[in-house]
Amino acid sequence: MSENTLKAGATGIRWFCKEHTSIAAMLSVFCGGTIGSLLRITLGFLQSTSPGAWPWATTIVNLVGAFMLGVITEWFALTGEDSGGRKVARLGLGTGLIGGFTTYGTMIIEMNTRLFTHHIMLAIGYSAVSIVVGLLCASLGIVVGTVWAHHSGNRLTKVTAFNTDSDAHAKASFVQATRQEHGDAELQITAARGGAERSTVQVRCAKGPQDVKDNTDGGSEEV
């Protein structure tokens, strides 16, 4: 398959995701969910069905899933708007792949099975590990996603700031503080009107020169 064919295919996918986001998102979730479920079932076949054994397969999928969902959610939240192809990818990976890979229902059934077969300590330990370690894995995933976003060279944050000619000093201070936070970066600030004087400002940081350009037209500015 030629490089031009691959580029044309990628362009077509991006167009479809942008113009038909809902349909593309459903297809993405379906495909991701199918893959995730098959992976979980494969691990489940390797797990002992004895009520006295630790359900390690379910433990692994839920802990890994919690970590990966934290990474995916945080990275997508910090690197761009939730629309078009990005939204389709986020739903396919998060809701589809990770959602199909993890299983809350199986975990509850396995806990009940161990309780009803008098493996009380095993049930308590299983529930404690699933919840406590699961929270730690999700938190670690968020940290990793944040670090990844910072080092990917493209980070989007949202703040609220005045966007009037009389507040030029505040805008200059805001830009300076953002540059200090992100280091050597080219900032693109787009302000959408949210009221008479206030605007919701989206800040996109991409690795590049620090040339300052001011094209303020009352509703937006690029720095």
Task: Please give the pLDDT value at position 120.
Answer: 94
Task: Please give the pLDDT value at position 119.
Answer: 94
pLDDT in tens, 46-70: 888 888 999 999 999 999 999 999 9
Task: Please give the pLDDT value at position 46.
Answer: 87
Task: Please give the pLDDT value at position 150.
Answer: 84
Task: Please give the pLDDT value at position 21.
Answer: 74
Long-range contacts (CB closer than 8 Å, 24 or more residues apart) made by 210-217: 210/179, 210/184, 210/185, 210/186, 211/186, 212/175, 216/163
Indicate whether this model's pTM tops 0.85.
no
Instruction: Say if residues 160 and 199 touch (Cβ distance below 8 Å).
Output: yes
Instruction: Say if residues 182 and 176 touch (Cβ distance below 8 Å).
Output: no
Tokens 């969902």 correspond to 69
- Alpha-carbon distance of 208 to 190, in angstroms, equals 18
Task: Please give the pLDDT value at position 192.
Answer: 44
Binding residues for Na(+): 99, 102
Task: Please give the pLDDT value at position 18.
Answer: 65
Task: Please give the pLDDT value at position 176.
Answer: 66
**Whole-number CA gyration radius for the chain:** 23
- Alpha-carbon distance of 57 to 106, in angstroms, equals 11
Task: Please give the pLDDT value at position 147.
Answer: 92
Task: Please give the pLDDT value at position 112.
Answer: 95
Residues of the chain where predicted confidence (pLDDT) is lower than 50: 160-163, 191-200, 207-223
Name the residue ranges covered by the structural domains of the chain.
Answer: 7-151, 156-206
Instruction: Say if residues 221 and 191 touch (Cβ distance below 8 Å).
Output: yes
Residue from 94, 44, 90, 38 nearest 65 by CA: 94
Task: Please give the pLDDT value at position 4.
Answer: 64
Task: Please give the pLDDT value at position 221.
Answer: 41
Task: Please give the pLDDT value at position 79.
Answer: 86
